[in-house]
Amino acid sequence: MTASLRILTTASLDSNPSLLIISPDGSKTLINCGEGCQRSFLESASNCSAGVGALRVSSVNRVCLTHIGHDTLGGLPGMILTTADVVESVTRELQIKKGVSSSGNIEDGNNEGRSSSSLHNGNNITTSNKRKSNGSLTANAADEEGVVPDLEIVGPEGIASFLQSLRHFMRRDRFKVHAREGHYDSSTNNNGSSSASSINAKRKMAKKKKHKGGSSSNDYEEIGFNVKSIPISYDGASCENPDHADQQESTSKPPSRLKQAISYLFTTPPIPGKFLIDKAQALGVPRGPLYSQLKSGKSVTFLDPITNVKRTVMSEEVIAQSSPGVAVAIVYCPNLIVLRELKESNTFRALESSGANDDRACEQRVELEVMVHLTPKRIFLDPSYRSWCKMFGTNVDHITLHASECLDDLNPDEENSPFVSGIISGIQRSFVNDTVYPMPVLSSSEAIEGKDRNMNCNSEDLLTIKGCPMMSYTLLPRSRRGLDNSTMMNLYPTNTITEIRQQVNETGAVECASSIVSSNERSTNDGNNASLGELIFAGTGSALPSKQRNVTGKYLRMNNGNSLLLDVGEGTVGQLLRSWRSTLSSTQSSPLDEYRSRLRGIKAVWISHPHADHHLGILRLLSERTAICGSTDPILLMAPSDLIDFLQEYQTVVPEISQSYSPVDCNDMIHGKPNPMAKKIYDELEITNCMSVPVSHCARSYAVVIEGTSFGKVAYSGDCRPSNRFADVAFGTELLIHEATFEDGMEEDAVLKRHSTVGEAIEVATMMNAKSLALTHFSQRYPEFPQMKRAIDKDKDTEFPIVFAFDFMRLKPDTIDLAAKLTPAMRLLYPCDETNDESTEHITAKELMAIPGVFAAKGVL
């Protein structure tokens, strides 16, 4: 097995830098886990044809964070949930295998139920691996079967508090997370628990026992990376003035002002020398067990078959000299104060080229192969930083993955998104109709990957490699060290915009759409196009992100230019930035100015319920908006109490957001009660009424009815079963946005998982006497269109237009009818796939209904 470094994401509008360190023993360490990290794992499947294996979230057993912020941990809760789901699934299989009955927690559709309960007071955040069995298979028992049940998270002080705060909206009963804060060395700091490397060692040993001979065909496949953290605390108030910092160090600083930046060093033990079989044969050593003893470093004595005399062969006679271990440095240096401390670090000083020729035996040394720089570009270009990099010698490769501290650090014209599948789908739709489906990239881009794809950038005398998504760098064997060019070529296909257009034309979708537009009675050029009102779908999928659909998020802009977000799932801000970039005209201000203006204009957020896929994007939103507005313009956060409690704990770790929002519980906005934020809502958004409606999904789930928008009366269901109460409160609405998780024919699944089918959503719109309906929140089994029993492509089938939402779709009050009529064209673009089936077994609704009291929200349905 090889060892490698795999880039997952870079700094772009919709992603932050993250990468994987893959050890020869198979253990994987993820460096940073920002929003969209799970989608990047899904995208890795596109590389399988090039011989690069698809990556899986569940295969990660350690996460290392360089600092605390949305860009490093925004995707961590989702990754924990996904990994825990895998462990839960495997545990159930083992229970069946061993004949142990499961306690059978009923989970909410598409894995959403995983986030519906608490963490039992944080008991799963621990450094101990002991656990009571409760009559079921324990995680340790699963471990004995070759499963890695736990996750190790290494990071700055405050990580444990962040993990503790997650109990407000997610649970993981059989899954443990071990938090390691500050100084950490995996070779000595196991704290009584099984580290990732030791767990994998046990897996390897179990596998070896299954093979005869007990020896490995690879000389270093049992080697794992040791990880050592280099934490540096600094005062953010004086981070750009090292001289001033010297004065500050003598005085005590408030703990809340201190930040911590962590760099990491990954090292292997010395690489064993290769077994020289030719020499062993020349010395007359018989094949078999003696070879294994020599490989293990022992001498062997045997009877020479020719001379009939005992002969002793030493291990060093048939084993090549071992070589130094491999070292990989991950450097995060946000400012010059941290740089000064890095220069003084004994860990890094030992790696400088001046120390590479000392008298230590090679068994005691490691050689630095590559440095990955997560340092902001402005610091990386500083002469003092570059001078430090040169101290490590010319044999070290430098890979740049510059962290972006704010929007100003991003290049809005660089198309380096890792979510290629979703972007290609968006480009395809834009050729059908760019009014409803705007281009998600710059239309002037000659190719999806943009123009700047030079990997090797020789700036002065420091050779650097510009990181790109899915790029792979081989560490072992040393003979293959360096970039794997096939990984870069395969992620970004050679498809140009012109080629995609040709492919779309061949489906007949463009011709069909042109015919629809020309015959549309209500031209999109008429009406109130001067209005700023619009509805952008930032994500239209349910539960988990997919390659084509992000999780839930909607941007509702009012006539005065200010806006409201309806749910803000992970990645919402990035999707919005990409959508806004593509719709800017050449006469408007710079993209960065427009981003700041739009983010400043988001005055309120509505969160429908406390499931992670509907609110994790709030962390980036609050951080980005605070950087623009400071504490003078807090956003109005209308959310269930679970999320408000979570943010109150999160802000103790990230105090910058403490003044960034004004919370109000959705329960205090229930229709029939006076809204405590009515005046603020009207002053900021010109909304005349905003009401919560309890619905049946999980605890504290709400729909919302909004009056006074540019669309008129708007109703949004959140996630729920069809609700008569919601239909009554929102009666006569101009636009209903309703979840349609399942296709028609899957009503039992919808009842079980407390969601709605396409047909049920249409029935709610009919009861509501809605003027139009937008369907969203599709199960990820439907990357394009769900099946349905009822044809709705023609006006005669319903009395109102029905729109199927896609990511990046933009509706205006006068384009809803057009979007609905474009459905036949979209079906040509995406022919229905009738092979969508459940990939996992589940309890049927009929079986569940035998349990009294399972359904029920009395007075809600």
Predicted confidence (pLDDT) per residue in 413-444, tens digit? 666 788 988 998 999 999 999 999 998 887 54
Query: Quick one: pLDDT band at residue 722, thresholds 50, 70, 90?
Result: very high
List the chain domain ranges.
3-273+322-403+454-491, 277-318, 498-520+534-848
Q: Does position 629 have pLDDT exceeding 80, yes or no?
A: yes
Q: Which residue has the higher pLDDT, 36 or 85?
A: 36
Query: Quick one: pLDDT band at residue 789, thresholds 50, 70, 90?
Result: low
Q: Which residue has the higher pLDDT, 667 or 588?
A: 667
**Predicted pLDDT of residue 48:** 53
Q: Where are the beta strands (DSSP E) in 238-396?
A: 258-267, 300-303, 310-313, 325-331, 366-373
**Predicted pLDDT of residue 459:** 53
- pLDDT, mean of residues 516-523: 73
CATH of domain 3-273+322-403+454-491: 3.60.15.10
Percent of all residues in the chain with a pLDDT value above 90, rounded to a whole number = 51
Which residue in this structure is represented by tokens 């938090």? 179
Evaluate whether 555 touches 536 at the Cβ level (below 8 Å). Answer: yes
Query: Quick one: pLDDT band at residue 852, thresholds 50, 70, 90?
Result: very low
Enclosing H/E stretch for 489: helix 485-491
- pLDDT, mean of residues 30-34: 96
**Predicted pLDDT of residue 584:** 72
Query: Quick one: pLDDT band at residue 508, thresholds 50, 70, 90?
Result: very high
Cα–Cα distance for residue pair 256/237, rounded to 1 Å? 11
Enclosing H/E stretch for 201: helix 196-209
Domains 3-273+322-403+454-491 and 498-520+534-848 share a fold: yes
**Predicted pLDDT of residue 488:** 58
Q: Does position 624 have pLDDT exceeding 90, yes or no?
A: yes
498-520+534-848 homologous superfamily: Ribonuclease Z/Hydroxyacylglutathione hydrolase-like (3.60.15.10)
Least confident of 114-128, 526-540, 613-627, 705-719: 114-128
Edge-to-edge order in the sheet of strand 462-466: 226-235, 258-267, 325-331, 366-373, 397-400, 462-466, 456-459
Q: Does position 47 have pLDDT exceeding 70, yes or no?
A: no
Query: Quick one: pLDDT band at residue 125, thresholds 50, 70, 90?
Result: low
Cα–Cα distance for residue pair 288/482, rounded to 1 Å? 36
**Predicted pLDDT of residue 856:** 37
- pLDDT, mean of residues 651-666: 94
In sequence order, which residues have a C-beta less than 8 Å from that of residue 35 and are 6 or more positions away?
Answer: 14, 15, 16, 70, 71, 74, 75, 570, 571, 573, 574, 616, 617, 620
Least confident of 219-228, 740-749, 820-829, 838-847: 838-847
**Predicted pLDDT of residue 42:** 85
- pLDDT, mean of residues 446-475: 68
Least confident of 235-239, 254-258, 379-383: 254-258
CA distances from 90 to 84, 137, 141, 176 (A): 10, 11, 11, 15
Query: Quick one: pLDDT band at residue 826, thresholds 50, 70, 90?
Result: very high
What is the overall mean pLDDT for the chain? 80
**Predicted pLDDT of residue 25:** 82
> What would the pLDDT profile of 90-123 be if each residue is shown by its tens digit?
667 666 766 654 443 333 334 443 333 333 333 3
Number of residues in the chain: 861
> What would the pLDDT profile of 243-262 be if each residue is shown by its tens digit?
444 444 444 333 446 899 99
**Predicted pLDDT of residue 648:** 95
**Predicted pLDDT of residue 783:** 81
Q: Does position 627 have pLDDT exceeding 80, yes or no?
A: yes
> What would the pLDDT profile of 662-707 be if each residue is shown by its tens digit?
999 999 999 998 999 999 999 999 999 999 999 999 999 999 999 9
User: Two tokens at 312?
Assistant: 């002793």
Give the ranges where 782-850 is alpha helix by DSSP (H): 816-821, 823-829, 845-848
**Predicted pLDDT of residue 626:** 93
**Predicted pLDDT of residue 22:** 92
